[in-house]
Structure formats: C-alpha cells, structure tokens
C-alpha cells in the first residue's frame, strides 16, 4: 500500500494565508463540524465519501481533515486506491489553531 502524503496544520495554515487554491474536505460527523470547521473546507462525512465520488476530480489534490487525523487517513487510503491525489492533515482539528466557522 502506497504511503499517504501528509500536511501539518501549520503548513496548511501557511498555504491558506498565502492564498493558495486548496481543496479541503472535512470528513467528521455533522455534530463535530457544528463545533467548528476550517472555513474553506467542504463537509462530506466519512460514511458518505463512497457515494460522493462525483464531487472529486482526479486532476486535483484533496486535503482530508477529521478530528485527530485517523479517519481522514482511512479516507485517503480509500481514494488513493481509486486513483485520486490525496493528502492527510495530521493531528486533525485537535491540532488546528487557525480560523474556524
């Protein structure tokens, strides 16, 4: 199994501050996202990913986010196997110090 590329919360914050166009996907449950998510992130709960493949483009890289980084890592393995470019935010929202909405 190919290793998943990662990004740290600090690196992500720097990229967002620099105005880079990023594709963020928060895979937490609705009640978790209600407590705050990164404003630029699209919310697709982990269980809905298999039925949401039409929302992803294999030419773009997606950064996946969850509470601690474990669920998003699992989503990354799943999508990478299907040929998508993915990156996991290690530490998840527990480590995020940037803005939330």
Q: Mind telling me the catalytic residues?
A: 66
Report d(CA 29, CA 72) in Å as an integer. Answer: 12
Residue 40's nearest CA partner among 57, 8, 66, 63 is: 63
């Amino acid at each position: 199994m190919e290793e998943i590329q990662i990004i740290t919360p600090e690196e992500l914050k720097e990229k967002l501050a620099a105005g880079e166009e990023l594709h963020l996907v928060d895979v937490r449950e609705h009640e978790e996202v209600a407590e705050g998510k990164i404003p630029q992130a699209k919310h697709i709960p982990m269980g809905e990913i298999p039925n949401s493949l039409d929302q992803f483009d294999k030419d773009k890289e997606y950064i996946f986010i969850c509470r601690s980084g474990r669920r998003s890592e699992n989503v990354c393995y799943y999508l990478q196997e299907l040929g998508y470019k993915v990156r996991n935010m290690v530490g998840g929202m527990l480590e995020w110090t940037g803005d939330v909405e």
